Amino acid sequence: SYADLDNDGDLDLVTNNVNEKAYIIENRSNIADSLNWLRIRFKGTRDNVNGIGTKVILYRDGEKMIKENFTTRGYLSAVAPELHFGLGTATFIDSLKIIWPDKTFETLFGVEYNKLLEVNQENAEGNYYTSLSEENNSLLENVNALLDFTHKENPTIDFNRNPLLAFAQSNEGPNVSVADINNDGLQDVFFSGGKGQASQLFVQQQDGNFLKVQEELFQESAINEDVSHLFLDINNDDYIDLFVVSGGNEFKSGKPLEVRLYLNENGIFRSANLSESNLVIHASEIKSADINSDGSKEILIASNLPEISNNRSLSTLIVADGKLSSQNDFSLSKDQVNGINDFVIADLDQNGTNEIICVGDWKPLSIFSFENYGISKIETKGLNKTNGFWNVVKAADFDKDGDIDLVVGNWGLNSRLRATQENPVRKYTYDFDNNGSEETLITHYYGNIETPFASKDELAKQMPGINKDFLSYGDFAKASLTDIFSEEKLQKARQDVVFEMATSYFENQGNFNFTQKSLPFSAQVSSVNDIYPYDFNNDGYLDLLLVGNNFEISPQLSSLDGSQGVILLNDKRGYFTEAPLQYFKVSGAARKIEKLSYKDDDYLVITRNNDQPVFLKINK
């Protein structure tokens, strides 16, 4: 523990030692150096007399220091219910903001240093956070839910099937799509449900309410884990039709993975029969684009598990005379790219024909061209060793130099897993224990030594022979990777690698040459699951809203829950910086972002796994 026991302005230490006397260690730094300080003591209400939880912001010399009044410090340790600021050689405090737990606040000017300051909650008033939003004109603002929807996720089964995975693939929803389905000039909203929960359609009413409609229709497919959907007028009747695709990893085949089409008849959806197309796909994303520049749009469906999607990572459907047919020439096989989490269609080289940019787990960014009714991989510069856990990709001319750049969401830099080109995260897939089934072995580098990511107990669940080979945890800890798994088996194993964990901006230099720039640290505190490009500050350049988090990951890792949502402003020089003083909040496992027009204002709808969506108003 620590406290200023002798009132000289520096903190002394108190240590409790095992089987010895406790020590008091005097801090004499203030004797040797003329350093300044400020102590603050709190007088709160009767229910919280010491003001526990009070936040203090100290401004000096253009900088600010933030501390919170909590007494707990580690195991069986506490400090006095007051705050101590070390000011160094600073001789002037610009101001102090005292924010109490009930959100009331007080601002103090002309505060003297090198003294004990007592503050009283009776002098506080107002709501600090409301005043900040009004004063600083936050670009986004949390508002109450505009409609009643809660996503319901099932317990993760991935780790029951394979406890050696790094993360699950059965908790990918929900998605959200927005369109005017009945041509009344108001936008309506469709949410996908989890396994056992029907997807839901909400129609906006003239009075501003949202009415949930056609529940029985979508209940017919409630068993599906719907992960993506697309509004598109298939039959050219001026009414938006609806495609829905499913995934989730609970099912390996059959009806729960069939692509569904709902035709819109004057604002009412009817299920269309697609059984003849045999469209059974474990999907991750569905989008439409004119891929061959013939004036019509094709429908592209990506899969992150191609082995249960006819060995295709991308399937393409052609719309002709209001009917659908598969187009194998524009599909991507498992051998071309083994699984896709997201993709985007864009004309990267400005030659009038589109390319497709694909991202996924354990893979680099990959670009393919659509030419002569076929699809082929493009050789690029700057993307060859970008293997990551990529979740989302967006394409736009962010630097306004005339070509299309990329922003891609990744795992982040705030977990135990770290990767570089020299020390990658690696996945071995092989029958290590000769039992006729393959096991997954994930490794990472501890220092410069490649070591299994899973613990001895987790490895033994899949490969019990490890307990016989290494009778103690000590023996296992001393063993090298090749001691546990033979060099021969490791070499024979199918290997996947990750070199890059950072969410990144890829600037297009022309001729498919890209320069990678890791986005600021606020974009790296957790996984990024979706990105929304939008000019939030109205300067003519696209900015970024990033949301993320993932709770269904290996027990060896803590949850990726550090993101509260962040806006990155375009600096107009080919990079992005965090927008200051933003007070919106997107907690939880955020999945998708979509813009919704409602009562003459624009809102962002952000879905969250196993939770209600967040609604953010875009301030004009």
DSSP string over 438-481: -EEEEEEEETTEEEESS-HHHHHHH-THHHHH--SHHHHHH--H
CA–CA distance, 115 with 92 (Å, rounded to integer): 13
CA–CA distance, 245 with 262 (Å, rounded to integer): 12
User: Angle 305-296-337 (CA atoms, 0-180°, nearest 5)?
Assistant: 25
Please give the sequence-ordered ranges of beta strands (E in DSSP) within 173-282, or none if there are none: 176-179, 188-191, 200-204, 210-213, 226-232, 241-246, 260-265, 268-272
CA–CA distance, 250 with 266 (Å, rounded to integer): 35
Secondary structure (3-state) at 255 = helix
Q: Is domain 141-417+499-618 annotated with CATH 2.130.10.10? A: yes
Secondary structure (3-state) at 497 = strand
Assess contact for 276 and 323: CB atoms under 8 A: no
Please tell me the predicted confidence (pLDDT) of residue 134: 60
CA–CA distance, 197 with 200 (Å, rounded to integer): 9
CB hemisphere CA count around 6 (13 angstroms): 14
Please state the pTM of the whole predicted model: 0.84
Both tokens of residue 74?
């580690």
Q: Which residue has the tokens 């007592």?
A: 118
CA–CA distance, 347 with 532 (Å, rounded to integer): 19
Secondary structure (3-state) at 330 = helix
Please tell me the predicted confidence (pLDDT) of residue 353: 85
Please tell me the predicted confidence (pLDDT) of residue 30: 65
Q: Is domain 34-134 annotated with CATH 1.50.10.10? A: no
| CA–centroid distance for 608 within its chain | 10
Instruction: List, run by run, the mean pLDDT of 10-residue segments along the chain (620 residues).
Output: 83 88 86 79 95 94 89 84 89 92 94 92 90 73 95 84 83 94 97 96 96 97 95 93 90 88 96 74 92 79 89 84 68 90 93 92 94 84 96 97 96 93 95 92 92 92 92 93 94 96 97 96 96 96 97 85 96 93 92 97 97 95
Can you give the residue ranges of every domain in the chain?
34-134, 141-417+499-618, 425-498
Please tell me the predicted confidence (pLDDT) of residue 32: 53
CA–CA distance, 186 with 83 (Å, rounded to integer): 53
- Before 452, cis peptide (omega within 30)? no
Please tell me the predicted confidence (pLDDT) of residue 372: 67
425, with CB counted inside 10 A (0-12, 13-18, 19+), is buried
